[in-house]
Amino acid sequence: MPHYAYLESHSHTRSDTKPPPNVVSIAGVDPSGGAGVYADIKTFSALRAYGCGVVTTLTAQNTQGVRGVHVPPVDFLRLQIDTLFSDVPIHAVKIGMLASAPVVAAVADRLAHWQAANVVLDPVMVAKSGDALLDHSAVGMLREALFPQTFVLTPNLPEAGVLLDARAPETMREMFRAAERLRERLPLDSERWVLLKGGHLPGEELVDLLFDGEHMIEMPARRIATPNTHGTGCTLSSAIAALLPRSAGQLSPVEAAVRGARDYLQRAIAASGTLHAGHGHGPVHHFHALWREPEKT
């Protein structure tokens, strides 16, 4: 049974002896709620984690595209992180849109200072509409400063190409090699993982690769025909962050968290048609398991 499904099915019938994990999203704000901090906190909440948020960027954005980006002062970003971590014990961190090299450097510096655990890095570079969300000059800083803090890296294929200074993988064979090369860029002296998402390859089935440097795990899933894919990367990485603290003690906690997160996202995509938000790439249904239709009498 998927990990998140266990949480859902037992949420009203048992009492936890431990409080829910505290998980923070360090990302941008999407006013339409389909991506960024708002989507991340929805995901945390759906998976029974307590959600916190640190805002890196403000966007003027909807389901059809990004109209503008504003980056608040980096000193204030540092203050947000320090104020939160000094008070709330954070069990996992999801990192999303960072926009610029100074923002990347500030986030990396403060996470190192607070010795943040379970850091899931979603290297957000391009919006679903095609709008750029990360300065090209920030890519090097991402590799240099944030990769050392990263526990799970979750790029899609175009992002993998940028991170490796190469074209995006176009075949499964190239995906395998890209996953290996990305893992080589993470610290080699400790457990780190790459989740390379294969959704950009054609076909009715999509395959993600989860790799820790030794074990390459293929994770297939059926492709769901829908235009409602806004924020899927944000949602997946947030679900992993929410489930990682709850997966501790399992035989393979990262694999369990990733499988549970992928199952949650598949169901959220499948239920997205019940929402009516915008005229472009609509959001997934983060609360698909909670917003049940009332029974007819």
Supply the residues annotated as catalytic. Answer: 197, 229, 231-234
Q: How far apart are CA 178 and CA 166, in angstroms?
A: 9
Joined together, the tokens standing for residue 170 give 């176009």
Query: Computed from CA positions of residues 247, 284, 236, 143, in that sequence, does the dihedral angle turn out positive or negative?
Result: negative
Q: Is 231 left (phi over 0), alpha (psi -120 to 50) or beta?
A: left
Distance CA 242, CA 237 (A): 9
Radius of gyration for the alpha carbons in the chain, expressed in angstroms and rounded: 18
Residue type, 219: M
* Integer Cα distance of 186 and 8 in angstroms: 34
Burial status of residue 69 (CB atoms within 10 A of its CB: 0-12, 13-18, 19 or more): middle
CA distance readout (Å), 77 to 36, 51, 54, 126, 135: 16, 18, 7, 22, 18
Q: How far is CA 71 from CA 55, 102, 120, in A?
A: 9, 10, 22
Instruction: Tell me the C-alpha distance between 109 and 123, whole Å.
Output: 17
